[in-house]
Amino acid sequence: MDLHIEIAGVALPNPILAASGTFGYGVELEDIVNLKKLGAVVTKGLSLQPMAGNPSPRLFETSAGMLNSVGLQNIGAAAFVRTRLPRLRQIGARVVTNIFGYTVEDYLEVVAVLNEGEGIAAYELNVSCPNTQRGGMIFGSDPRLLAEVVERVKRTARRPVIVKLTPNVTSIAEMARVAEGAGADALTLVNTFLGMAIDPRTRRPRFANVVAGLSGPAIKPLAVRMVWEAYQAVKIPLIGAGGIATGEDAVEFLLAGARAVQVGTANFWDPKATGNVLKELKRYGARHGVARVGDLTGAMEMSTGDSPASG
């Protein structure tokens, strides 16, 4: 199976990416994962200033999933360009930098810093951060704010802009259309679902922030559904994420309409997860006679096939 794909003009050797926040800046894993062989590495979310993140505990395991409240800890965009990007370039990894901010201006300033970095393939905008300047609104769930941040980032960005949508909205199709209309080159869906957990013994929330982000296998069916809904709503390429841990998980997302996928939480229990998903995807392609991985995108069959009763 030919694994090559293209997203927003960026050629990738295969459709398996490491998801933001679950793979550090990539370089930490260079002894464990062949970064050059991955479709791309998506970095931890970068802000203008370094951020310390939230107090611990930051992770809590749930049934088939994980809640996190890491709080976007990062070294800052300038330090990333200076201290991590050169090594990624040397390795030959394709790098997508994940970006977040609390105001539109924050996003623009981070983009300006990253525009000067050599060896970045694309930007991924994390639009699910609280916007403190406008009463704690969330970019990704307010169509007007989403359009504004995407339009303005597009004007500043020297690289393709992938918009990463939050699943915490009523209509993912609407938000996908808004991002596309504002100029997004591609979409990643989805980020984590808002969740919470309480310790029954102490009656206290598990996290200082009370709510946290749910990821892992528990969210996979929700994420596949959202990719499918977005696929019917927009024409730009989609990158699926949410609970992918096996090659067949990846295939499900591709069939629903994704052109590429990201492996996130699975890296926490197996740092080699991205490589395993790629291997299993190749095996699926060989077994099912798929010529090009791109042929799987949106190729879900709508008929249910032979019913057990007819056999």
Residue 68 or 297 with smaller CB distance to ligand FMN: 68
Distance of closest approach, residue 123 Cβ to ligand FMN, in angstroms: 11
Q: Provide the binding-site residues for ligand FMN, judged by CB under 6 A.
A: 19-22, 44-45, 66, 68, 70, 72, 98, 126, 164, 191-192, 215-216, 219, 241-244, 263-265
User: Least distance in Å: CB of 147 to ligand FMN?
Assistant: 19
Q: Which of 93, 129, 162, 251 is catalytic?
A: 129
Q: What is the 3-state secondary structure (H, E, C) of 257-286?
A: CCCEEEECCHHHHCCCHHHHHHHHHHHHHH
151: tokens are 């339009």
CB of 236 to ligand FMN, least distance (A): 18
User: What is the distance between the alpha carbons of residues 196 and 205, in angstroms, rounded to a whole number?
Assistant: 7
Beta carbon of residue 2, minimum distance to ligand FMN (angstroms, whole number): 25
Checking phi first, is residue 185 left (phi over 0); if not, alpha (psi -120 to 50) or beta? alpha
Name the nearest CA neighbour of 96 among 129, 126, 138: 126
DSSP for 150-168? HHHHHHH-SS-EEEE--S-
At closest approach, how far in Å is the CB of 191 from ligand FMN? 5
Round to whole Å and give the CA distance between 232 and 234.
6
Q: Do 5 and 30 form a contact (C-beta atoms < 8 A)?
A: no
**Residue nearer to ligand FMN on the CB measure, 88 or 310:** 88
Nearer to ligand FMN, 52 or 302 (CB): 52
| Cα–Cα distance measured from residue 36 to residue 93, given in angstroms and rounded to the nearest whole number | 4
Which of 225, 305 has the CB closer to ligand FMN?
225
- Closer to ligand FMN by Cβ: residue 255 or 305: 255
129 given a catalytic annotation? yes
H/E segment holding residue 104: helix 104-115
Q: Give the residues across from 125 on adjacent strands.
A: 99, 163
Which are the catalytic amino acids?
129
